[in-house]
């Protein structure tokens, strides 16, 4: 009897751990979980079907709601900008694909902000069974057990999670800020630099170390004009034609 009870308790513990793992939010640096879903663009396996492009998974609470509608119209308007960065977009909610198709058709008839009508080319994924929502930790039960909060997962070309952001249902996301994060991530990945607070593309970047030795400076005096410091902890690298003559070097 005692052995049977221990086996029962072990099984309950195992099931509890398994459920907790399925509901855990994928962490920065982890591999993005794969799932397959029906969508407005046919069946999609995310993130695999997007290949070596960067990907952003946007979750939203419900189709036809005002905040969600404004976000999708902003994404549609900025689609070409994301394309230039090599970024593919996917949107997901716990509504089904039939509802998604009706919503998409409705949105494509609207003239939002006087920009004219916009085509929605990115897929809107059906997660009516909430499988992917649980895998990505999108159901925050103090808020809702069946509707996603506003999540943003930025995933790189190797399908590694690079950035995670969550927003409450009542607050729309700043799509330009999300694009800025992508630009910052791509910049730091490509050149092994850092981006300071409020950085935007084209601004000077930071380096995490003293940028040159005395010997390197002697061999290449131009290095002194390429870098500058603020205090003894922050070293910057100039980008493009930016000048920092007004920054006092310490």
User: pLDDT tens digits for 120-149?
Assistant: 999 999 999 999 999 999 999 999 999 999
pLDDT in tens, 22-64: 568 999 999 999 999 999 999 999 999 999 999 999 999 999 9
From the options 3.40.30.10, 3.90.226.30, 3.30.70.360, 3.30.300.30, give the CATH code of 29-173.
3.40.30.10
pLDDT at 249: 38
Tokens standing for 55?
A: 């990907």
Residues 6+ apart with CB under 8 A from 37: 43, 44, 46, 92, 125, 126, 127, 132
Output the pTM of the full model.
Answer: 0.85
CB 213 within 8 A of CB 223: no
Identified catalytic residue from 32, 44, 68, 138:
68
Respond yes or no: is residue 89 known to be catalytic. Answer: no
Q: What is the dihedral of CA 126, 128, 132, 138, to 10 degrees?
A: 110
Q: For the chain, give every domain's residue range.
A: 29-173, 192-250
Q: Is 80 helix (H, G, I), strand (E, B) or coil?
A: helix
Distance (Å, rounded) from C-alpha 94 to C-alpha 178?
23
Q: What is the pLDDT of residues 198-238, one digit of tens each?
A: 999 999 999 988 888 889 888 998 888 899 999 988 999 99
């Amino acid at each position: 009897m005692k052995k049977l009870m221990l086996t029962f308790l072990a099984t309950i513990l195992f099931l509890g751990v398994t459920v907790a793992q399925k509901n855990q939010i994928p962490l920065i640096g982890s591999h993005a979980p794969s799932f397959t879903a029906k969508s407005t663009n046919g069946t999609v396996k995310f993130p695999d079907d997007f290949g070596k492009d960067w990907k952003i998974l946007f979750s939203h609470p419900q189709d036809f709601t005002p905040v969600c509608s404004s976000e999708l119209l902003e994404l549609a308007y900025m689609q070409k900008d994301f394309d230039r960065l090599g970024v593919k977009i996917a949107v997901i909610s716990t509504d089904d694909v039939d509802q998604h198709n009706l919503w998409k058709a409705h949105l494509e008839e609207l003239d939002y902000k006087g920009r004219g009508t916009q085509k929605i080319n990115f897929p809107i994924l059906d997660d009516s069974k909430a499988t992917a929502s649980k895998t990505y930790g999108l159901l925050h039960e103090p808020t809702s057990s069946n509707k996603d909060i506003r999540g943003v997962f930025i995933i790189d070309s190797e399908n590694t999670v690079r950035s995670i952001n969550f927003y409450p249902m009542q607050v729309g996301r700043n799509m330009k800020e999300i694009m800025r994060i992508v630009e910052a991530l791509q910049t730091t990945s490509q050149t092994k630099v850092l981006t300071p607070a409020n950085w935007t593309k084209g601004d000077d970047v930071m380096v995490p170390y003293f940028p040159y030795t005395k010997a390197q400076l002697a061999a290449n005096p131009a290095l002194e004009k390429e870098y500058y410091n603020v205090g003894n902890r922050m070293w910057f690298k100039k980008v493009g034609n930016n000048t920092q003559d007004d920054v006092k070097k310490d």
